[in-house]
Amino acid sequence: PPPPQGGPAPAVIEAITKGNKVVFFDVTLGADEKGNGGNALGRIKLELYVKDCPKTCENFRQFCTGQHLRNSQPTGYKNSTFHRVMKDFMIQGGDFLNHDGTGKTCIYSENRGFDDENLSLKHDRPGILSMANSGPNTNGSQFFITCGRAEWLDGKHVVFGSVLDADSMLTVRKCEAVPVSGVGNRPRV
């Protein structure tokens, strides 16, 4: 049955009942860096596996909500981009510092990463939310969402959540379908 008017969707209630957190991105194609213009692609709801990766989830959650402050200003993913798109593999985002995959920060220490928290969860299907890194114990703000199985990443990247529902996965697929250019697989918009 549909959720009550204005109430949370059943998948959200289920995730929260399990003790997890739910966050979301409203994705727009072609907006400027302040979020103006462009075409709305949809919303990506993400379930965060708080029991398995509490530190990683809290870092991500605060960047989703803008709760983390940097220079007394809310800091996070709002108006940031998916800077790397690789069809049948993943979409990567979270570099709200440099917007090109080179920026790193976290809520625990400015311009540094934090340690891998749990490497036991698998990249076994599309829709897995995982930390992007540059080697062991280098997690920051960057993340990726899988568009297919990626078992070669198991034990190397921290899986800390997943896409919550079919509508959200459709939005991921729309992002995956954006034309890319260059070595860095940067979306052309």
Residue 181 has a CB neighbour count (10 Å cut-off) of 9
Whether residue 139 contacts residue 25, with contact meaning beta carbons closer than 8 Å, is answered with no
Please tell me which residue in 92, 129, 139, 160 is annotated as part of the active site.
92
Known catalytic residue: 160?
Answer: no
- The residue annotated as part of the active site, out of 41, 157, 160, 186, is 157
Verify whether residue 29 is a known catalytic residue.
Answer: no
- 63 catalytic? Reply is no
User: Phi/psi at 73 (nearest 5 deg)?
Assistant: -120, 140
* Eight-state DSSP code of residue 152: G
Query: Which of 84, 121, 160, 186 does the annotation list as catalytic?
Result: 84
Pairing of β 21-29 and β 143-146: unpaired
| The token pair that represents 49 in the structure block | 């596996």
For the question of residue 133 being annotated catalytic, the response is: yes
Q: Give the active site residue among 41, 129, 153, 164.
A: 153
- How far apart CA 161 and CA 121 sit, in angstroms, is 9
Active site residue 84: yes
User: Is residue 89 annotated as a catalytic residue, yes or no?
Assistant: yes
Catalytic residue among 114, 144, 160, 164: 144
Name the active-site residue from 20, 59, 62, 133. Answer: 133
Counting beta carbons within 10 angstroms of the beta carbon of residue 178, is it exposed (0 to 12), middle (13 to 18) or buried (19 or more)? middle
Which one of 25, 82, 89, 160 is the catalytic residue? Answer: 89
**Active-site residue list:** 84, 89, 92, 133, 144, 153, 157
